[in-house]
Amino acid sequence: MREKPKYLPPTLRDKHRYIAFQVIGERPFKKDEIKRAIWDASLSTLGTLGSARAKPWFIKFDEKSQTGIVRVDRKHVEELRFALTLVTHINGSRAIFRTLGVSGTIKRLKKKFLAEYGWR
Amino acid at 55: K
State pTM to two decimals.
0.91
Mean pLDDT of the chain: 95
In the chain, where the domains are located: 16-117
Question: For 1-40, how does the pLDDT look when each residue is reduced to its tens digit (9 = 90+)?
Answer: 678 888 889 888 899 999 999 999 999 999 999 999 999 9
Per DSSP, the residues of 16-38 read EEEEEEEEEESS---HHHHHHHH
Sort residue 47 into left (φ over 0), alpha (ψ -120 to 50) or beta. Answer: left
Residue 57 to residue 38: CA distance in whole angstroms:
9
Predicted pLDDT of residue 45: 96
CATH topology for 16-117 is: Alpha-Beta Plaits (3.30.70)
**pLDDT for residue 46 is more than 90:** yes
